């Protein structure tokens, strides 16, 4: 069993772009995050129609009056429309040897577990088995990655994400999903997740207590206010906290540690 560290780790969510949506997952955001003493840099991975993995949170974007899906474009076509779009390989190269990666595989990658495993294998090759945590909301993808890592003799951090967007689903389906997140034992057992990943509201509603009882590392997203950061960055509060404002998170953690030294 992997032991949870005393010091809560900090991850720069979407490369720490803050409130600037246009900056999310961009090279400028990664450069700024690497200048901070964050422990992890988080980014979102989508899949283009030709199989190329790119860094973007949403699976589609507006071009003029039309909504364009990355899954309908080749990598070259996507870059023509989004010149600042980074590839997965770009980001792995930037982070290698500098910061640990928090790799969030979106549905366009994770819906086929083979693609999720291939993305994880690339991360192992470029970052090393201890150089990243990979997360996704797909139970099947988590299970496939865990099974693959066992076959390779690797002890990877693989997280099942709880608390994602359920808009567009029927009320019955929304209720079913939320109950499975508040009582995640069966999903975690079936997926074999080695990390519990929860939105901060779900974590407060009992998921954090669940993770602690079972000795599983807890990754909490996305924590941005000073009060909430102070709560989750206390020793034992979580293993890793992601924030859109990593500089603030680091300042809150440092202030807590200074107070502890005084006492």
Question: So what's the pLDDT on residue 3?
Answer: 44
4 compared with 194, residue with greater pLDDT: 194
The share of the chain scoring above pLDDT 90, in percent, equals 84
pLDDT tens readout for residues 84-96: 999 999 999 999 9
Phi-psi region of 172 (alpha: psi -120 to 50; beta: other; left: phi over 0): alpha
pLDDT tens readout for residues 144-198: 999 999 999 999 999 999 987 767 778 888 888 888 888 899 999 999 999 999 9
Question: So what's the pLDDT on residue 263?
Answer: 61
Question: So what's the pLDDT on residue 2?
Answer: 46
pLDDT band at 1 (very low <50, low <70, confident <90, very high): very low
Question: So what's the pLDDT on residue 153?
Answer: 98
Q: What is the pTM of this model?
A: 0.94
Instruction: Work out the average pLDDT over 201-215.
Output: 94
The CATH architecture that domain 9-194 belongs to is Alpha-Beta Barrel (3.20)
Report the distance separating Cα 156 and Cα 142, nearest Å. 11
Pure H helices in the chain: 27-34, 75-81, 88-95, 107-110, 113-127, 139-152, 171-182, 185-191, 200-202, 208-213, 226-232, 246-262
- Write down the mean pLDDT value for the chain: 94
pLDDT band at 4 (very low <50, low <70, confident <90, very high): very low
Instruction: Output the six-digit token pair for 152.
Output: 């390779």
Return the closest-CA partner of residue 119 out of 142, 137, 97: 142
pLDDT tens readout for residues 52-78: 999 999 999 999 999 999 999 999 999
pLDDT tens readout for residues 236-260: 889 999 999 999 999 999 999 988 7
Instruction: Work out the average pLDDT over 123-141.
Output: 98
């Amino acid at each position: 069993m992997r032991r949870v560290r005393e010091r809560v780790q900090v991850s720069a969510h979407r490369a720490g772009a803050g409130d600037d949506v246009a900056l999310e997952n961009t090279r400028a955001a990664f450069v700024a995050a690497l200048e901070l003493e964050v422990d992890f840099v988080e980014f979102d991975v989508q899949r283009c129609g030709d199989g190329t993995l790119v860094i973007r949170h949403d699976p589609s974007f507006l071009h003029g009056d039309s909504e364009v899906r990355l899954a309908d474009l080749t990598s070259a076509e996507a870059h023509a429309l989004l010149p600042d779009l980074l590839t997965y390989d770009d980001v792995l190269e930037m982070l290698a040897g500098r910061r640990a990666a928090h790799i969030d595989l979106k549905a366009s990658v994770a819906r086929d577990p083979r693609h999720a495993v291939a993305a994880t294998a690339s991360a192992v090759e470029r970052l090393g088995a201890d150089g990243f945590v990979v997360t996704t909301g797909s139970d099947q993808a988590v299970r496939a990655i865990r099974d693959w890592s066992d076959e390779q003799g690797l002890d990877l951090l693989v997280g099942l994400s709880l608390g994602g967007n359920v808009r567009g689903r029927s009320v019955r389906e929304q209720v079913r999903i939320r109950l499975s997140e508040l009582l995640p034992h069966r999903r975690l057992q079936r997926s074999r997740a080695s990390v519990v990943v929860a939105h901060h509201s779900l974590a407060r509603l009992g998921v954090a207590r669940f993770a602690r009882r079972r000795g599983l590392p807890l990754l909490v997203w996305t924590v941005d206010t000073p009060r909430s950061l102070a709560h989750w960055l206390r020793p034992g509060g979580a293993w890793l906290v992601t924030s859109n404002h990593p500089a603030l998170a680091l300042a809150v953690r440092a202030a807590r540690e200074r107070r502890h030294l005084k006492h």
